[in-house]
Amino acid sequence: MATYLLRRLLLGMLTLVAITFIVYGLARNMPGTPLTVQMGESDPSRKLNPEDQERMKRIYGLDRPWHEGYLRWLGNVVRGDLGRSFSRKQPVTTLIGERIGPTFLVSGTALVLAWLLGVPLGLYASARSGMADERATSLLLYILYSFPTFVAALFLQIVFSVWLRGTAWELPLFGMSDLPADASWAARAADIARHAILPVTCQTYVSLAYDSRFIKANMEEAVRQDYIRTARAKGAGPGRVLFHHAFRNTLIPLVTLLGLSLPGLIGGSVIIEQIFTWPGMGRLFFESIRERDYPTIMGLTLMFSVLTLIGQLLADLLYCLVDPRVSVE
């Protein structure tokens, strides 16, 4: 077990180096630098003259070829320093710290809601498998599952922000809060909650549809097993068979699914945050690509990759832990 973990960790390190190397190379080779993109676009008169540009480039280390820049970045990361954002003049860790809260507010709420609704729905669907009402529900969930989030987001914006404007049902179009910072705590919380409704809805419905379909698929596999026949034969009622015998045996893939949603929980959704101008990680990522803000791109990439790798490792370990037939060796 220890050797397995050690090997996985070493391989993970190698993978991380490879990923960050590729992303750094791609980012540095995008046309434009943080200096030209940022200043030239907003105001041509603020464009730096060539000497200043050279000086700034030296300060930021952009005069060196990109692989040297990568080695310097890697060295700093090993020492626990993710660098400072070019465009926001703040350490990358501070930026991530600021954005993690809003993202977690949306994705965490969405995750909890999706599971709270998805598990009963999935169980209901497998209990009534083949009946007319189950078919209708499953079809509806399937339709939801195929419905692109950005289309749904635009529909919701039109309905709740344009058509219902001026009514009690109106919801804010974008942003996280309209109130000034000195407003009362309760008022601010209510305001943020109102702003969060649409993004949370968008993020919930997709995972809800996915989770319940996943649960149903696993249950269908479980109810075909011999131990279910045994349970029925010994006289267990349908409810007991469903919960106690079948559902408990589908928990393994569920826990794995939960583990794999870890990166999304922190990483947020670029598209949803972009549509609702929600100040989270996904939007930070998108903005940093547009601003050619290399340290922020790299910091976020590192974080996503670490989370993805941890999620995969956790999934594999959980499998070994709960299923003795699978061995790490």
Partner 1 sequence: MTDSQSRHQSRSFQSQGFWADAWARFRRKPLAMAALVFVTLLAAVALLAPAIAGTKPVLCRYKGRIYAPCLGYFDRRLEPTIFAKDRFRGTYPRNLKEKDADSWAIWPLVFQDPHRAVRENEWPGRPANPAKDEGRPNGINLFGTDQYGVDVFAKMVHGTTIALLVGVVSMGLAGTIGIIVGALGGYFGGWVDMLTSRVTEIVMCVPTLVLILAVIAIVEKPTIWKTMAIIGATGWTGIARLTRGEFLRLRQSEFVTAARATGAGPVRIMLRHILPNALAPVLVPITFGIASAILTESSLSFLGFGPPPPAASWGSLLNDARSNLSMWWLVVFPGVAIFLTVLAYNLIGEGLQEVTDPRLREARK
Under DSSP, the state recorded for 44 is G
Residue 274 binds to partner 1 (criterion: CB under 8 A): yes
Q: Do 126 and 222 contact (CB within 8 A), yes or no?
A: no
Nearer to partner 1, 102 or 282 (CB): 282
Q: Which of 148, 178, 243, 327 binds partner 1 (CB under 8 A)?
A: 148
**CA 72 from centroid of its chain's CA atoms:** 29
141 scored as a contact of partner 1 (CB under 8 A): no
Q: Is 87 in the site for partner 1 (CB under 8 A)?
A: no
Shortest distance, CB of residue 189 to partner 1, whole angstroms? 27
* Residue 16, φ and ψ in degrees, nearest 5: -60, -45
Q: Which residues, at least 6 apart from 166, have a Cβ–Cβ distance to it below 8 Å?
A: none
Size of the site for partner 1 (CB under 8 A): 46
Q: What is the smallest separation between the CB atom of 49 and partner 1, expressed in angstroms?
A: 25
Nearest to 269 by CA among 111, 162, 125, 141: 111
Instruction: Give me the amino acid identity at 283.
Output: R
Span from 71-79, 87-95, 198-206, 217-225 in contact with partner 1 (CB under 8 A) = 217-225
The 218-247 contact track toward partner 1, x by CB under 8 A, reads --xx--x-----------------------
CA separation for the pair 176, 188 (Å, rounded): 10
Task: DSSP for 195-250, please give it.
Answer: HHHHHHHHHHHHHHHHHHHHHHHHHHHHTTSHHHHHHHHTT--HHHIIIIIIGGGG
Q: Which of 141, 198, 266, 297 binds partner 1 (CB under 8 A)?
A: 297
Which x/- pattern, by CB under 8 A, does the window 158-187 give for partner 1?
x--xx----------x--------------
What separation in angstroms does the CA of 292 have from each of 24, 166, 237, 301?
A: 11, 40, 62, 14
From the list 29-37, 93-101, 185-193, 198-206, the region that binds partner 1 by CB under 8 A is 29-37
CB 154 to partner 1: min, Å = 5
Using an 8 Å Cβ cutoff, are 103 and 306 in contact?
Answer: no
- Listed in sequence order, the DSSP H helices in the chain are 2-29, 34-42, 50-60, 66-78, 92-127, 132-146, 149-157, 185-222, 226-233, 238-240, 251-260, 262-267, 270-275, 281-290, 294-322
List 88, 216, 304, 315, residue binding partner 1 (CB under 8 A): 304
3-state secondary structure of 289: helix
Q: Which string of x and - marks every residue 244-273 that binds partner 1 (by CB under 8 A)?
A: --------------------------xx--
Piece of the chain touching partner 1 by CB under 8 A; list 54-62, 115-123, 299-307, 318-326: 299-307
310 binds partner 1 per the rule CB under 8 A: no
Residues that bind partner 1 (CB under 8 A): 11, 14-15, 18-19, 22-23, 26-27, 29-31, 139, 142-143, 145-148, 150-151, 154-155, 157-158, 161-162, 173, 220-221, 224, 270-271, 274-275, 285-286, 289, 297, 300-301, 304-305, 308-309, 312
